Amino acid sequence: MRIYFMIILIGFAFSSCQNTSTSEEETDKKTKVEKTVLEKLDWKLESVGNLEDGTLGTKVSIMVNNQTIELGKVSGQAEKLDKASYSNSDVPEEAKTAVKIWMGDLETVFYAMAADTEIVVFEGGIDEGSAPDFNYMYKEVKRITIK
């Protein structure tokens, strides 16, 4: 009876060790993916001349690991935001990168967050002439799985 109990106990101990290493491997993989992504995460902002409505436009794309994904064309001029200005546009501190496109009182902001093995891109904006509290309303626009 004691032998059976010892065998069962050793089996539980062995399976616990295996689960820990798998969990550690998954964590290591996520960390490596995030580090690789962050080294190769950037915006591509291209002036596209006049849009259909006659305004000057910018084509906004995000580059992830040598892959360029177009997010859309937006009226206005673009600039990358530095971390210090994130709070001015209600961008979360955890965002990995952000860009702002503005034209007059209209402002559109894109930012990217790392989520496990994905990059999640959000878009939002305000019309400063119509909102006294200038709240940005963000929505998810793209999920990019990192390979």
Per-residue pLDDT reduced to its tens digit, 26-80: 666 566 555 555 567 899 999 998 888 888 899 999 999 888 999 999 999 999 9
pLDDT at 133: 64
Same domain? For 76 and 9 the reply is: no
- Calculate the CA 125 to chain-centre distance: 17
Q: Which domain holds residue 97?
A: 41-145
Do 1 and 57 lie in a common domain? no
Q: β-strands 97-103, 106-115: how paired? A: antiparallel
How much is the pTM?
0.72
The C-alpha atoms of residue 3 and residue 9 are separated, in whole angstroms, by 10
Q: Same domain for 84 and 22? A: no
SS3 category, 15: helix
Do 109 and 123 fall into the same domain?
yes
In the chain, pLDDT over 70 holds for what percent of residues?
69
Residue 87 identity: S
